[in-house]
Amino acid sequence: EAGVAQSPRYKIIEKRQSVAFWCNPISGHATLYWYQQILGQGPKLLIQFQNNGVVDDSQLPKDRFSAERLKGVDSTLKIQPAKLEDSAVYLCASSSPGGTEKLFFGSGTQLSVL
């Protein structure tokens, strides 16, 4: 079974630039999550999709972050404009119907904002 695919693996940008991350979840997984993991900390949920609808985006900084999941499969997370404190690993995860019993994570995108 193919895992959760994420790209790019690394990204370096300057502050105020924009950046986008892509995620392809495990086939058949209805729920997709984007987490932000700052160095030395645990993952923090940014947004959760159920199919192509948003379940929770309470911790997403909506003035600069946006996410979409068209057709309920792939998802993109965008930051515009980026700030220094956005430097982190952005993890995508998916789970099968039934919700939060077991999440499958991608390898993440490591973002450095200079």
Partner 1 sequence: SQQGEEDPQALSIQEGENATMNCSYKTSINNLQWYRQNSGRGLVHLILIRSNEREKHSGRLRVTLDTSKKSSSLLITASRAADTASYFCATDPIQGAQKLVFGQGTRLTINP
Size of the site for partner 1 (CB under 8 A): 26
Q: Give ∠ CA 113-37-80 in degrees, rounded to 5.
A: 40
Instruction: Tell me if 47 sits within 8 A of 67, measured CB to CB.
Output: yes
Distance CA 84, CA 101 (A): 34
Task: Please report whether residue 2 would count as binding partner 1 according to CB under 8 A.
Answer: no
The 62-91 contact track toward partner 1, x by CB under 8 A, reads: -----------------------------x
The one-letter code for the residue type at 23 is: C
Task: Please report whether residue 22 would count as binding partner 1 according to CB under 8 A.
Answer: no
Task: Please report whether residue 42 would count as binding partner 1 according to CB under 8 A.
Answer: yes
Among positions 12, 55, 84, 114, the unique one binding partner 1 when judged by CB under 8 A: 55
- In the bound state with partner 1, the residue whose beta carbon lies nearer, of 55 and 80, is 55
Q: Least distance in Å: CB of 80 to partner 1?
A: 25
Candidates 15-23, 37-45, 61-69, 73-81; binding stretch for partner 1 (CB under 8 A):
37-45
Instruction: Report CA dihedral (12, 77, 91, 29) to the nearest 10 degrees.
Output: -150
Distance CA 72, CA 49 (A): 8
> Which residues is 102 bridged to in the sheet?
none
